Amino acid sequence: MRCKPAVGEQAWFPAHVRQELRFERLTPEPGPDADAVRHEYVARITLDAEPARLEVDGIATVWELLVDGMPVAEGRSMFERQVVALSGLGPGEHEVRIVVHPLTEVLDALPAKPRQRWRTMLVEDARLRWVRTQLLGRAPGFSPGPPVVGPHRPVTLVTGPPAPRLRSWLEGTTGVVEVGGRDRIAIPDAELWWPHTHGTPKLHDVVVDGEVVGRVGFRTVENRSEDSLDLWVNGVRIFCRGAIWTPGPLDALDSAVDLGLNLVRVPGVAAYESDAFHDRCDELGLLVWQDLMFATFDYPLADETFAATACDEVRDQCGRLERHPSTVVVCGSAEHEQQAAMFGVSPSTGYAAELAGLLRPVVEASGLDAVWVDSSPSGGDPVTRVDTGIGQYFGVGAYLRDLPDVRHSRVGFAAECLAFSNLTDPVVEGGVPRDNGADWDFADVREHYLRQRYGADVDPDGPQAQRVSGEVMADVFGEWRRPDSGCGGGIVLWLRDVVPGAGWGLLDADGRPKPAALALAPTLQPTAVWLVDEGLNGLDVHVAHDGCEPDEATLLVELLRDDGSAGESAEEAWELAPHSHRVRSVEALLGRFADVTYAYRFGPPQHAGVRARLTTASGITREAVWTIPLTSPG
pLDDT 10s digits, 215-232:
999 999 999 999 999 999
pLDDT at residue 51, as a whole number:
87
Q: What is the pLDDT of residue 213?
A: 86
Mean pLDDT of the residues in the chain: 93
Contact between residue 531 and residue 539 where contact means Cβ atoms under 8 Å apart: yes
Q: Name the segment(s) of the chain with CATH classification 2.60.120.260.
A: 17-159
**pLDDT value of residue 336:** 92
- Using the Cα atoms of residue 262, residue 241, residue 238 and residue 622 in order, give the sign of their dihedral: positive
Q: What is the mean pLDDT of residues 495-517?
A: 96
Q: Residue 164 pLDDT > 90, yes or no?
A: no
Q: CA 451, CA 468: separation in Å to the nearest integer?
A: 10
Going by C-beta distance under 8 Å and a sequence separation of 6 or more, which residues neighbour residue 243? 256, 261, 263, 264, 265, 491, 492, 493, 494, 495, 506
Alpha-carbon distance values, 561 to 359, 453, 454, 532 (Å) = 59, 18, 18, 19
Measured CA to CA in angstroms, residue 509 lies from 259, 361, 445 at distances of 16, 38, 21
**Residue 209 — pLDDT band, cuts 50, 70, 90?**
confident
Three-state secondary-structure class, residue 560: strand
Element at 444 (helix H, strand E): helix 442-454
Q: Which of 568, 546, 544, 545 is nearest to 556 (CA)?
A: 568
Residue 472, CB-side half-sphere exposure with 13 Å CA sphere = 34
| CB neighbours of residue 582 within 10 Å | 17
Amino acid at 545: H
Contacts 24+ apart (CB under 8 A), 222-228: 222/371, 223/371, 225/412, 225/413, 225/488, 227/379, 227/388, 227/389, 227/412, 228/379, 228/388, 228/389, 228/390, 228/391, 228/412, 228/413, 228/488
Give me the CATH code for the 221-525 domain, please.
3.20.20.80
Nearest to 87 by CA among 74, 100, 68: 68
The partner residues of 559 in beta bridges, in order of sequence, read: 610
| CATH number for region 529-627 | 2.60.40.10
pLDDT value, residue 436: 76
Rg of the Cα trace of the chain?
Answer: 26
For CATH 3.20.20.80, list the domain ranges present in the chain.
221-525
Q: Is the pLDDT of residue 255 over 50?
A: yes
CA–CA separation, 158 and 52 (whole Å): 6
Task: Provide mean pLDDT across the span 511-515.
Answer: 98
| Predicted local distance difference test score (pLDDT) of residue 15 | 53
What single DSSP character describes residue 34? Answer: G
In the predicted model, what is the mean pLDDT of residues 489-501?
A: 96
Is the pLDDT confidence value at 440 over 50?
yes
pLDDT of 632 above 80: no
For residue 309, what pLDDT band results from cuts at 50, 70 and 90? very high
Res. 195: pLDDT tops 50: yes
Residue 8 pLDDT: 29
In the chain, list all ranges with CATH 2.60.40.10: 529-627
Share of the chain above pLDDT 90, in %: 86
Residue of 503, 332, 475 whose CA lies nearest to 395:
475
pLDDT band at 145 (very low <50, low <70, confident <90, very high): confident
**pLDDT, tens digit, for every residue of 539-562?**
999 999 999 999 999 999 999 999
Q: Name the pLDDT band for 144 (thresholds 50, 70, 90).
A: confident
Q: Is 210 exposed, middle or buried (0-12, 13-18, 19+ CB in 10 A)?
A: exposed
How many CB atoms are closer than 10 A to CB 189? 10
pLDDT at 10 over 90: no
pLDDT greater at residue 211 or residue 390? 390
- Mean pLDDT computed over 376-390: 94
Look at residues 406, 359, 410 and name the one whose alpha carbon lies nearest to residue 380: 410
Percent of the chain scored above 70 by pLDDT?
97
Q: Which of 41-50, 159-168, 415-424 is predicted with the least confidence, judged by mean pLDDT? A: 159-168
Q: Distance between CA atoms of 424 and 427, rounded to whole angstroms? A: 5
Lowest-pLDDT range, 197-211, 275-289, 411-425, 457-471? 197-211
Q: Looking at 70-79, 337-346, 364-373, which range is the least confident one?
A: 337-346
Between the ranges 11-20, 53-62, 137-146, 157-166, where is the mean pLDDT highest? Answer: 53-62
CA-closest candidate to residue 98, choices 60, 133, 51 = 60
Which of 12-16, 120-124, 374-378 shows the lowest per-residue confidence on average (mean pLDDT)?
Answer: 12-16
DSSP 186: E
When pLDDT is cut at 50, 70 and 90, the band that residue 348 belongs to is: confident
Q: Place domain 17-159 in its CATH homologous superfamily.
A: Galactose-binding domain-like (2.60.120.260)
CB 501 within 8 A of CB 594: no
Give the torsion sign (CA, 529, 533, 534, 538): positive
Prediction pTM value? 0.95
